[in-house]
Amino acid sequence: MDAELFPLAEDSAVSVLSGLGSYTLVASEPPWSSLAPLVRPPARLITPGNMELSALGSLLADEPDTDVVVGLGGGLALDTAKYIAWKTGKRLVQILSVVSVDAGFTDAIGARVDGKVTYVGSVVPEVVILDIDLVRSAPARLNRAGIGDVLSCHTGLFDWQLAASRGEGVPWDEKYAAPCRELLRDLAEYASEIRIVTRDAVRWLVSAYRRIGGLSRAAGHSRFEEGSEHFLAYAYEHLNGGQQVHGELVSMCSVAVATLQRNDPETVRRIVTESGTRANPTDLGIEKDAFIGSVTGLAEYVRSARLDFSIAQVAVLSREVVHEMWESVTTLPRRGS
Ligand SMILES: [Zn+2]
């Protein structure tokens, strides 16, 4: 029922771009310069970078009279394209050039206001294009990071159940939880294929995002996919101005939060390890003090950003617990770039 909300087609980015009328293109680099000589040029080209709401708003002033907005790239490009399509009411086509985040299959537009994540509106693309060859030409490391936005269901479901049991937020609904648990089981099975970025692994990751995106759209929330693992990632970014790859940071935070939740952290660690995803803080350039500051500042960050009720509100963060969380991530395998 729900997955159809995000129409998906496998096609080549070049043929899709060549078949459009006048279009505004929000494209990441790479891959844009390798595709540019092969397609009809866009009426406007935007290189995404700044997700602050004020910066996004300033993009609207120069928007020409085009038929369609196209996002081409990873999260930044797709989210920026969503914002422009939402504000202008234009059709939206999203072309995935990497499967590092679920942004192609989320209707919520996540901007930043003073560095804090804020959802400003929502829009559903006319179609999401999966160009498998283009995706597989992206650095493997980025595609592996795609596990983060599925793995987050492990800790997100826990937080949702915790909140619901206390009468906080939206009530528990098994109809949304059950498919997410199924995706987590499949993720464990696909982990070793994701490591080598097989065609099936790319297709599976995309289908998982699409399924979760459809469930979020139907439910009107994302409690099963976004919990304190994302909040910890946002808190870290807010406090430290993070430059991490979203899925790698979320993977690290999923391990740390599963440890805090006493929620089978070994399964999370195994998936991270088998998929070869970088999540050891040393590899991500995350220092111990910054990690600990984000963990101890999490509850306050969640309150001030008005995020959902989660383990962050009830956990007692003793020195031992914080140390255990740090241990859980620093003992993950080291990965090169
Ligand atoms: Zn995410």
CA of 216 to the centre of ligand 1 (A): 13
221 and 10 Cβ atoms separated by less than 8 Å: no
Residue-wise pLDDT for 40-86, tens only, equals 999 999 999 999 999 999 999 999 999 999 999 999 999 999 999 99
Does residue 189 surpass a pLDDT of 60?
yes
CA of 91 to the centre of ligand 1 (A): 24
Question: Which distant-in-sequence residues (6+ apart) come within 8 Å of 129 by Cβ?
Answer: 8, 9, 10, 11, 13, 16, 93, 94, 95, 96
CA of 150 to the centre of ligand 1 (A): 8
Residue 241 CA to residue 300 CA, distance in Å, equals 17
CA of 38 to the centre of ligand 1 (A): 32
Average pLDDT, the chain: 96
CA of 5 to the centre of ligand 1 (A): 19
CA of 307 to the centre of ligand 1 (A): 14
CA of 230 to the centre of ligand 1 (A): 6
Q: Rounded to 5 degrees, what are φ and ψ at 97?
A: -110, 0
Percent of the chain, pLDDT > 70? 99
Does residue 141 surpass a pLDDT of 80?
yes
CA of 39 to the centre of ligand 1 (A): 31
CA of 180 to the centre of ligand 1 (A): 15
CA of 18 to the centre of ligand 1 (A): 31
Helix (H) or strand (E) holding 265: helix 265-274
CA of 44 to the centre of ligand 1 (A): 28
CA of 331 to the centre of ligand 1 (A): 23
Does residue 106 surpass a pLDDT of 80?
yes
CA of 295 to the centre of ligand 1 (A): 18
CA of 333 to the centre of ligand 1 (A): 22
Say whether 71 sits in a helix, a strand or coil. Answer: strand
Q: Which CATH superfamily is domain 155-330 in?
A: Dehydroquinate synthase-like - alpha domain (1.20.1090.10)
Q: For residue 241, what pLDDT is reported?
A: 87
Residue-wise pLDDT for 201-230, tens only, equals 999 999 999 999 999 999 999 999 999 999
State both tokens at 96: 């995935």
CA of 21 to the centre of ligand 1 (A): 32
Mean pLDDT, residues 86-105 taken together:
96
Q: What does pTM read for this prediction?
A: 0.94
What's the alpha-carbon Rg for the chain, to the nearest Å?
19
Q: For residue 138, what pLDDT is reported?
A: 97
CA of 258 to the centre of ligand 1 (A): 16
Q: Residue ranges per domain, the chain?
A: 3-137, 155-330
Phi-psi region of 41 (alpha: psi -120 to 50; beta: other; left: phi over 0): beta
CA of 130 to the centre of ligand 1 (A): 19
Helices 288-296 & 319-330, crossing angle to 10 degrees?
130
Question: 3-state SS of 95-108?
Answer: EECCCCCCHHHCCE
CA of 250 to the centre of ligand 1 (A): 7
- Is it true that domain 3-137 has CATH number 3.40.50.800? no
Q: 């696909």: which residue's tokens? A: 190
Say whether 64 sits in a helix, a strand or coil. Answer: coil
Question: Exposure string (b/e) for 245-255, b if CB count within 10 Å is 16 or more?
Answer: bbbbbbbbbbb
Mean pLDDT, residues 272-301 taken together:
97
CA of 57 to the centre of ligand 1 (A): 23
CA of 151 to the centre of ligand 1 (A): 10
Write the burial class of residue 32 (CB in 10 Å: 0-12 exposed, 13-18 middle, 19+ buried).
buried
- Give the number of other Cβ atoms within 10 Å of residue 28's Cβ: 21
CA of 245 to the centre of ligand 1 (A): 10
240 and 311 Cβ atoms separated by less than 8 Å: no
Torsion, Cα 316 235 230 173, to 10 degrees, reads: 60
Mean pLDDT, residues 141-167 taken together:
98
Q: What are the residue ranges of helices labelled H in 166-245?
A: 174-195, 199-219, 228-240
